[in-house]
Amino acid sequence: MSTDLGNPTTNGHRHSFDLVPVAETPQSAKEFKSDQEVRWCPGCGDYAILAAVQGFLPELGLKRENVVFISGIGCSSRFPYYLNTYGMHSIHGRAPAIATGLATSRPDLAVFVVTGDGDALSIGGNHLIHALRRNINLTILLFNNRIYGLTKGQYSPTSEVGKITKSTPMGSLDHPFNPVSLALGAEASFVARTVDSDRKHLTAVLRAATEHRGTSLVEIYQNCNIFNDNAFEVLKAPETRDDYLVRLEHGQPIIFGKDATKGIKRNANGSLVLCAGDDPDVLVHDAHADDPSVAFALSRITGADLSTTPIGVFRDVVRPVYDDLMSAQLDQATAKLGPGDLGALLTSGDTWEIN
Amino acid sequence: MSSKQIQQLDRVIIRLAGDSGDGMQLTGDRFTSETAAFGNDVSTLPNFPAEIRAPVGTLPGVSSFQLHFADHDIMTPGDAPNVLVAMNPAALKANIADVPLGADIIANSDEFTMRACQRIGYAANPLEDGTLTDYRVSAVPLTSMTVEALRDFDLSKKEAERAKNMFALGLLSWMYNRPTESTLEFLEKKFAKTPVVAKANIAAFQAGYHFGETTEVFSVSYEVKPAPMRPGVYRNISGNLALAYGLIAASKTTGLPLFLGSYPITPASDVLHELSKHKSFGVRTFQAEDEIAGVAAALGASFGGALGVTTTSGPGVALKSEAIGLGVMLELPLLICDIQRGGPSTGLPTKTEQADLLQAMFGRNGEAPVAIVAARSPSDCFDAAIEAARIATKYRTPVFLLSDGYLANGSEPWLLPDVSTLPDHSVEFATAPNHETADGNGEFWPYVRDEQTLARAWAVPGTAGLEHRVGGLEKANGSGSISYDPANHDLMVRLRQAKIDGIARDIDDLEVDDPSGAAQVLVLGWGSTYGPIGAACRRVRARGMHVAQAHMRHLNPFPANTGEVLSRYTKVLIPEMNLGQLAMLVRAKYLIDAVSYDKVAGMPFKATELADVIAATIEGVNQA
């Protein structure tokens, strides 16, 4: 898969981590492995994501000491322990808020957030949407397995309606979130989706996400083989995946299916519909479109059986980054007033002297 | 030239009361400034409703500002006003119970219409029906005289009426012989963008002043001579402003950039407002999406090597508890400024209380000790912030700084510190490995502790070779790896407690003020009760009785000599604006029969009230 990199620039910074020092010598995946024993269940999709991230970080080539992974609570949130970078395994749902404080006060750091569907969308939903809206310079990896794993198998905010779990013996009643739709609605400037088992695609999406300055949200469909096994099997099995997956590539027509027989086009009323792969009206994907409505429509096109599941970069647009704006205000104030003088501050306002 | 008589007074307590929209807080602030500039000692107490604009002319809409000034040093905004300025019938009705018989009442007679009086339950106009015969009432048509004075201005009647507070201020400024230059300058500056409004306010102010000089209503003006004060440069300061300045100073003393993560909440928001103005000091202020994000962002910034601070009030602390617990586990500096207000729940947002002590002390899951520091007066918030930051950074721990609504909005003259003499509390980050592996390589262990302070090594991201992970799961002491080992958990729980307890070796002893040395009763307090307790002790001593006073800056841990101090007295009396929270801690720790005196009325103690309680306690001891 090729991902269009485009040339987005924000406040003069071309890339997400322009202010982060670069490693002087080539790095290896091994350098990014910590000495901690990995403790996910055998067969968990998290292993593949960890390997992909460890494999990708040397390509990113940043000084290891300037990379920070922050997580919340849940299976995925153990992630930082297994990377030999700086890291914090924090509290449930709050990783985006903690990362906001770190990223805004330290522009020289590459800050990643690792979270899950429960952590990011249930208990931490508020922080996620506000990080996205502010466009903090963060790369958020949202592992979506549509189940609570660490608490042993309750339904999550992305579980399908009617799911039988320990806490919903008669089926869950909750209508699920679609994380991509949610992120787009929360003013996200970069939203992508990928799958744990497709390392090549996952790596390409990570590459695109880290090239974007601002908040990048990457939803990763991840298999929980203990509590929700094969939840995304149709997207992975060789016999079904080509008919179910829609690989979005910027500037390319949206065509899918085994023999590229299917396509997506826009109706006169703006809605998206399936069409033949060779239909002259097949939609050309524009991840850089300022108007998010097509990206949103693409996020809604998937059926309950995961048919027509787009993966790839839905949206990648340039928008001012909170961290840059905050730093600019500090610079502006200092340029105007000079560096702060505490003595002068204390004597501002009415003073009087007693002799 | 006024030929009126000038009468000398040693102190005066004035209460300005009006509608929320009448500008009473501004009027009070200006009078305070004039008074402070004149050289009196001064102490103020604003009191306003939580509603931004309650319906005009109603009791819930009354806002007031009390100020006490004197030719000697004073400790409180005063118990009962000598003068009440009532801008409408509601202001009179809401405040008359506090006004002693014989006191002065200046009422804006224009607003005392039958309808306005009946609206709030007066059957007739109280200025005319004889109900106020025991007071010295001056009925002054403030509104119509203001409108008249501004007749030549291009203003509507309504706009002109809004300057009536400045007319009242002018009158008071004449009555108490206040210098007026600072108010004139202030008005020019405040309304610089609308010169007509600036000129109108100045004209109203001067009209009020001249009215005082010429009218027959007032035959006497008063003078309160300057108070002897230590030499130096002073300004008037509120607790929230002092706190904001203290945090900026703490950034300087610790050498760490200040990061404030905060969510607006009464009565703490002014600290966020103030700090957001000072970006040239490298101060980053982040108005978060909620209280949790405010503290979480502060902790994230601390992880990166900033001085992470969050400002809030009691309800916000409740929401932040889990993140504060994380700070305890991560052993990172974090400053939580709790500007306490009446609780529980939403409680009394604009009223004061000190009922969050036990929340600060214990309001987290597990054994999660934190240090607690409390400010005792508005200007003391400055020093308290520096001390709280010192402890937080030196011991890598969350620290609570407790203030309250009374300190936050009240004000007093402040002898400005010489900033060149501020202490150096700079922090040393880890820069090199502190552990050797079996194969002889150096590595960084984040939970290796300083032997003396038990503080862990603090390496910030960006430091090569010291990459490490921290988190909320229990850590192995030393390496910081996840550990479920029972003995390690027991050790870590005790180490975290010992670290906080050990701060007692590093803080000032509890000082006792016992001038005669003959006291048997010790009055112990903390926080904003310092002024009222001090004033009460003076009154008791003036009655020829002996009493000792001690006031706690540090509430966790207590100063090392606390037990010894308490044991010297037959009786320990602890007045608090809660139901005995410090008393509970003191009784539990020192096994003494401390007596609580508590009140949660949303207002500070009155000195007279406390003096009576102290005197009764002394008499009780004498009789026993």
pLDDT tens, residue by residue, B549-599: 999 999 999 999 999 999 999 999 999 999 999 999 999 999 999 999 999
Residue B425: both structure tokens together: 């509390």
pLDDT at A1 over 70: no
DSSP bridge partners of A71: A89, A114
CA distance A245 to chain B (A): 36
pLDDT band at A9 (very low <50, low <70, confident <90, very high): very low
pLDDT at B2 over 80: no
CA distances from A74 to A86, A93, A142, A165, B338 (A): 19, 9, 11, 17, 31
Average pLDDT over residues A256-272: 94
pLDDT at A118 over 50: yes
Q: Which A-chain residues 34-53 have CB contacts (< 8 A) with chain B?
A: 34, 36
Q: Does A70 touch chain B (CB under 8 A)?
A: yes
Cα A97 from Cα A85, distance rounded (Å): 20
pLDDT at B120 over 70: yes
Among partner residues B279, B288, B467, which is closest to A333 by beta-carbon distance?
A: B279
pTM: 0.94
Percent of chain B with pLDDT over 90: 95
Q: What are the b/e assignments for A38-74, b being 16+ CB within 10 Å?
A: eebeeebbbebbbebbbbbbbebebbbbbbbbbbbbb
Average pLDDT over residues B98-122: 96
pLDDT tens per residue across span A39-71: 999 999 999 999 999 999 999 999 999 999 999
Instruction: Please report residues of B whose CB lies closer than 8 A to that of A343.
Output: 419-420
Cα B547 from Cα B615, distance rounded (Å): 9
Are B303 and A81 in contact (CB < 8 Å)?
no
Instruction: Please report residues of B whose CB lies closer than 8 A to that of A355.
Output: 231
pLDDT of residue B267: 97
Are A349 and B468 in contact (CB < 8 Å)?
no
pLDDT at B609 over 60: yes
pLDDT at A5 over 60: no
**Lowest-pLDDT choice from B3-7, B11-15, B118-122:** B3-7
pLDDT at A78 over 90: yes
Average pLDDT over residues A275-283: 97
ipTM above 0.90, yes or no: yes
pLDDT of residue B48: 85
pLDDT at A355 over 90: no
pLDDT of residue B3: 64
Average pLDDT over residues A242-266: 97
Matching residue, tokens 């010598």: A25
Instruction: Please report residues of B whose CB lies closer than 8 A to that of A130.
Output: 288-289, 293
Average pLDDT over residues A209-222: 97
pLDDT of residue B473: 97
Helix (H) or strand (E) holding A199: helix A199-211
**Lowest-pLDDT choice from A9-18, A122-131, B118-127:** A9-18
Q: Does A65 touch chain B (CB under 8 A)?
A: yes
pLDDT tens per residue across span B431-476: 999 999 999 999 999 999 999 999 999 999 999 999 999 999 999 9
Instruction: Please report residues of B whose CB lies closer than 8 A to that of A87.
Output: 468-471
pLDDT at A2 over 70: no
Please name the residues in contact with B527: beta carbons below 8 A apart, sequence gap of 6 or more. Answer: B354, B374, B375, B376, B402, B403, B404, B407
Task: Return the amino acid letter for B126.
Answer: P
Among partner residues B282, B289, B471, which is closest to A126 by beta-carbon distance?
A: B289
pLDDT at B396 over 70: yes
Please name the residues in contact with B308: beta carbons below 8 A apart, sequence gap of 6 or more. Answer: A101, B259, B261, B297, B298, B299, B300, B301, B302, B332, B333, B334, B335
pLDDT at A6 over 60: no
pLDDT of residue B21: 87
Q: What length is written for chain B? A: 624
